[in-house]
Structure formats: C-alpha cells, structure tokens
A and B are shown apart, each in its own frame.
Chain A
C-alpha cells in the first residue's frame, strides 16, 4: 500500500466512526461531535492528496483545509448554541424526546 492509500483508509475509518456515532447516539452534543469527525476526515483527504499528489506546489489542498477549518468552527458555534436553546426549551438534549416542531 502506498502512503496515500494508508491516509485515505485512515480517513475512511474516521468518517465511518463519525457517521456511526451521528446515526446511533441519542445525545445531540455527541451527534454534533460525529459531524465534526466527518468534517475532519474530509480535511485529512485534502491534505493527503496535496502531500502525495502530482502537483504539491499549487497549495490548493492547504487552502481548502484552512477555509474548511474556519467553516467548521462557525458550524460548531452555531450548532452548540442551537443545542443550548433546545435544552432551555425541552430541558433535555435527548433527540428522542425532541419530537415536536412547535413547543
């Protein structure tokens, strides 16, 4: 296996772990953490293709990851604010019990 394939396999595993967590856990915070893990798997792919790809001097992968980290930070802030607002309303973060759109 080439180093690129090893990196891609690590990132596939990371994505699958994040997806399994986001699909099976009931706590909203853990679901958000699973989404963060999936985003990071994507970032790892960008870096791996930049490092082992044919045109490393273009720096496109690096740029993508820098912007992606910025967007992930914004997403985490808004997501956690939503969870706090939900908790204030329902007094729980269990997604099974948050089952109505209107109060």
Chain B
C-alpha cells in the first residue's frame, strides 16, 4: 500500500466521517467536499483522468456548492444542532457495521479478486468521446433529457406555490409596477 494511496484513503474516509458526524451543517458540507476531492485524487491515481476531473468539477464544483446554498436557504448554518442523531442511533450504526462486515468479509475471502498483474490501462479522452458518440449515444441522449427534466423539476419544486403567490397581498412584482 503506497503512501499516496494511504493519504488519499485518510482524506476520503476522514472527510466522509466528519461530514456525517460534525454538529454544524456548514462544516459537514466542507468535509464532504474534502472527501470528494480525495476521491478525485484517487481516480487520477488510478489513471482515470477524465473521470477524476469530472468528479472534481461535478462534486466539488456543483454538488457541494448546491448543498451550501441549500444550507443557507434553510437557515441552518449558524447554530450547532443539539440532538443531531436519532434516539435509536445505535440501531443505525449497527446496521451500517453489519453491512460493512458482510462487504469486508466478501472482499477479503473472495478468490476471484486474488491478483494477477494487469498492464496499466490508458483511458484516452479520444476513445471515451468515440464510445460516447457510437456505442453509448442513446444513453447520452437519454441522460441529456433526464438532466433537462431534472432542471425543470427542481425549479418548479423550489418555486413558491401558485396559491401562496396569488394569496399574498404584497407581491413584490406588483409593488414595483405600482
């Protein structure tokens, strides 16, 4: 286990643990970004450059910022939460530990994973682009449609409802017109 992998694993797991355990929401969001940065580094380390940069762009650039915005809009950034875990948190931790035990046992005892040395693969961006335009073009179209629908759905969900808008007497747009 190389030093780089060790550092990246500490970054990923420490960031994830902090994101799930810290009391202040804004610290949780920053710890999540740290964990995602570690994952992007691990992808780069494993020679998957395109995915590493996509991870950095999408997760650190978009999802973490989106979460920070949601925290600010729901007004939970300043105060530490008092009872941040459920009363029955032991059961949740127990389930997670059980899942970890099963997965770890399967990984460690599997003979299919026992290593044969493989050549270091190269994922050229050109090959990825070729595949996206040939074999996976339908999936690409569908995900474009999905992202458009998700964009519209998110805007509609986050907008104030129509009854709330027409019901309020002091509508800012009307005030401006008057």
Contact = CB atoms under 8 A, between A and B. Distances in A.
Interface residues of B, number: 82
Contacts of A13: 13, 100
Nearest to A4: B113
Given A17-B96, A20-B93, A73-B147, A30 B46 contact: no
B62 to A, nearest CB: 6
A27 B136 contact: no
Contact of B19 (A37, A54, A62, A84): A37
A3 B119 CA distance: 13
Interface in B160-178: 160
B172 to A, nearest CB: 16
A59 B47 CA distance: 12
Contacts of B69: 80
**Interface residue tally on A, bucketed by range:** 35 or more
Secondary structure type dominating chain B contacts: helix
A8 to B, nearest CB: 4
A76 B147 CA distance: 11
B107 A12 contact: yes
Interface string A1-19: 1111111111011111111
B34 interface: no
Contacts of B7: none
Given A30-B25, A71-B143, A87-B73, A18 B16 contact: yes
Contacts of A74: 146-147, 150-151
A20 B58 contact: no
Nearest to A30: B28
**Residue among A57, A59, A75, A83 with the most chain B CB within 10 A?**
A59
A66 B58 CA distance: 10
B66 A80 contact: yes
A36 B64 CA distance: 10
Contacts of A10: 9, 12-13, 42
A40 B113 CA distance: 21
Given A10-B12, A18-B16, A52-B115, A63 B92 contact: no
Interface of A: 1-10, 12-21, 23-27, 29-30, 32-34, 36-37, 40, 43-44, 47-48, 50-54, 56-57, 59, 62-63, 65-67, 69-78, 80-85, 87-88, 93, 96
